[in-house]
Structure 1
Amino acid sequence: MTELNTLDTPTLLVDYQKLLMNINQTATFVKEQGIALRPHIKTHKSVKIAQMQLKAGAVGVTTAKISEAEVMAAGGIDDILIAYPISSPAKINRLVKLLQQGVQLKVSVDNTESLSYLQRGIERTPYTLEVWIKVNSGLNRCGVEPGLEVVRLAKEIMSHSKLKLGGIFTHAGHSYAAGSKAEIEAIGLQEGQAVVESANLCEQAGINIPVRSVGSTPTYQIAGKVPGITEIRPGNAVFFDAIQVGLGVANIESCALSLLATVVGVYQNRIIVDTGSKALCLDKGAHGNQTVNGFGHIIGHPEVLIERLSEEHGVGVLIGETQLKLNDVVQIIPNHACTVVNQFEEYVVHQNGLVKDVWKVAARGMIK
């Protein structure tokens, strides 16, 4: 078997045992809570990994874009939530094609105008489209405000012959801006309550809400315990990354994704690795919160801080003595796994320092 340190670089790596551990951790949580798991694939963009999650008990997957859903459907995955607003006729035509393939499709809605577009786009077909109401639980991105606005939209959905209300969901992405675990805890509780309280009001109005779904990796173990929540949708939890470590959500040993890099320059006060912004990306946090120092964590070399990136160069300043030399190979845990994965065509899967397999990043670049 091939040893990792003999591979050319940069190479995207997945530690097989850590991947399994992370998948099983999430699966165990939902089993203990008696709820469902619908992981977001925007992190791994891999049919293979999605299939592993389904085998571990996931009921389906979540995607950000239709193109990601199309890739998952082509890979045999037939229960998909597209957690993104859709109203353009071109995109609705693509939804119809997924329905024609037998996909159990759900799409996000948060306004009455989009309902009209969806109704018109499928009213001449034999299909009914399941829609989920997106609730704003504090991120202030998409979503209707919790409570009566949800009830009003739910009633409007019921008046459309080709639309079926399947659930209410939210994403507490603002948890990435939290300054403490206590703040993450408060956001997670608010996330779950925004969904449950909205669903309860709908049911008081005679509108059944089968699914009450919450999402973010930092909060899923909090919001997922709120009574009435039926589903979680974490994405990053499959790998974790340096931002999650910075938030206190994971430890560095849990991070399954890394980049294999080579030292291409050694100077008096710095080293250069062959992973610049086109590989590591420029994330240092999310929503205004810088949770990490530098642009990636070099495993086993705390004396090197990746201080800056140009397109093809990672500049690591020395904050202690190092034994690294020209052509040495290192592994770097990225700050943000999701964006880094989208830069690569394939994963090299490894176990105990040896190459186990190569998996395609099947939904790479799928942004439409």
Structure 2
Amino acid sequence: MDRKGKSIYHLDTPTLLLDIDKLKENINEMAAFAKMQGISLRPHIKTHKSIEIAKLQLEAGAVGVTTAKIGEAEVMAAGGMKDILIAYPISSEMKMKRLIGLMEDGVDLKISVDHVQQVEWLDAFFEQTSYTLQVWIKVNSGLNRCGVEPGDEVVQLARKVVNSASLKLGGIFTHAGHSYGAKSIEEIEQIGLQEARMVVESAEACEKEGIPIPVRSVGSTPTYKIAGQVKGITEVRPGNAAFFDAIQVGLGVTSFDKCALTLLASVVGVYQGSRVVLDTGSKSLCLDKGAHGNQSVSGFGHVVGHPELTIERLSEEHGVAIVNGETSLSLNDKVLVIPNHACTVANQFEEYVVHQNGVVVDVWKVDARGKVQ
């Protein structure tokens, strides 16, 4: 069925909608910031998982893309992306063989390292091939997930890499994901500054030992405009900033009118004027209410134009909203819901219905949907 030219309100539900004007505005904002700072932009595609959107980001000035998993990198490579950072630790032989496949396809590949044994295993594997693998050292800047500690641990791992036979040290990077747990804009600013300093100081410590660090890269949508202004940083890697979502609004990073991704939902039940049920449950809206210990939103999505509704609970196929006061909604009415977390919601759908001013202009695949290996 050809949906182009139709009003979004004539579509079946639930449907994943993407506002093309807001998307391009967000992409251009990231690119403009990087250009203004004289640094590179390498956006993370785990948010959108779309070849079409990645192409828009490259056209706007991105030097390449970041992925979380090899599967995402394989999809992006098949879509023409040639400069890819896999920002995830890789050490199994099964996955190393897949890295070879990407390099055979001409991808300028970089991967994350944060452990001496990982470096040893990568070196031993790639020494048996004709390839030299570029690795970037992941620094723990406070998230306490992956990454070596800044300073001496970075230098020790850098020495291990430069003394290896088949690895090349390309950069140092971090992800300040703990910014999602911040309680204020001021705390986000502090995290962003700390994130950048840990990368820059680690790079400087390496260079004092004669180990050059060409790339000093930071990420995180809440912090990239803060960390990206610190002298010595050469690259930013925001992901969610392409779409934004209710969590970013809750953190004070953006506003609802900049959120490009919405779900079109139908009212499937109105009960005693106190409860409205939508056809978007946990299989479409997901269960995020914040991240890293911070519930920065109220409910499970923001219902556009209906402040009287709070989506209080989700089952698999039902979004149950309580009504504070009165609502004009009735059975079969359609509403737009801004998801709490755009990244997880996009991964639930096979396609984006792209619209401009509420009229469908295209349909794009969520190409890397489900690519978690």
* 2:315 matched residue in structure 1: 310
Q: CA deviation at 1:320?
A: 2.0
Letter in 1 for 2:321: G
Q: Which of 290, 297, 305 is equivalent to 2:302?
A: 297
Provide TM-score, normalisation by structure 1: 1.00
* 1:3 matched residue in structure 2: 7
Question: Where do 5+ consecutive residues of structure 2 fail to align?
Answer: none
Q: CA deviation at 1:120?
A: 1.9
Letter in 1 for 2:292: H
Q: Which of 109, 121, 126 is equivalent to 1:122?
A: 126
Task: Give the RMSD, CA atoms, in angstroms.
Answer: 0.5
Q: SS state of the match for residue 271, structure 1?
A: strand
* 2:337 matched residue in structure 1: 332
Q: SS state of the match for residue 216, structure 2?
A: strand
Q: Which of 348, 351, 363 is equivalent to 2:353?
A: 348
Distance in structure 2 (CA, Å) of the matches to 1:60 and 1:18: 22
Letter in 2 for 1:147: G
2:151 corresponds to 1:147: yes
Letter in 2 for 1:190: Q
Letter in 2 for 1:56: A
Distance in structure 2 (CA, Å) of the matches to 1:353 and 1:172: 35
* 2:50 matched residue in structure 1: 46
Higher mean C-alpha deviation, range 116-125 or range 326-335:
116-125
Deviations along 1:88-136, whole A, 9 cap, x unmatched? 0000000011111110000000011001111122212111000000000
* 1:107 matched residue in structure 2: 111
Distance in structure 2 (CA, Å) of the matches to 1:320 and 1:170: 46
* 1:357 matched residue in structure 2: 362
Provide TM-score, normalisation by structure 2: 0.98
Q: SS state of the match for residue 280, structure 2?
A: coil
Q: SS state of the match for residue 211, structure 2?
A: coil
2:61 corresponds to 1:57: yes
Question: Where do 5+ consecutive residues of structure 1 fail to align?
Answer: none
Deviations along 1:47-68, whole A, 9 cap, x unmatched? 0000000000000000000000
* Matching of residues 66-105 of structure 1 within 5 Å: 66-105=70-109
* 1:275 matched residue in structure 2: 280
Distance in structure 2 (CA, Å) of the matches to 1:46 and 1:115: 31
Distance in structure 1 (CA, Å) of the matches to 2:102 and 2:125: 13
Q: Which of 274, 284, 292 is equivalent to 1:287?
A: 292
Q: SS state of the match for residue 326, structure 1?
A: coil
Q: CA deviation at 1:208?
A: 0.5
* 2:36 matched residue in structure 1: 32
Count of matched residue positions in the alignment of Structure 1 and Structure 2 = 368
Distance in structure 2 (CA, Å) of the matches to 1:156 and 1:100: 26
* 2:190 matched residue in structure 1: 186
Higher mean C-alpha deviation, range 284-293 or range 121-130:
121-130
Letter in 1 for 2:36: E
* Matching of residues 191-340 of structure 1 within 5 Å: 191-268=195-272, 269-340=274-345
Distance in structure 2 (CA, Å) of the matches to 1:131 and 1:256: 34
After TM superposition, where is structure 1 displaced by more than 3 Å over at least 4 residues in a row?
A: none
Letter in 2 for 1:320: G
* Matching of residues 167-178 of structure 1 within 5 Å: 167-178=171-182
Deviations along 1:3-27, whole A, 9 cap, x unmatched? 1111000000000100011001000
Deviations along 1:304-350, whole A, 9 cap, x unmatched? 11000000000010012111010001100000000000000000000
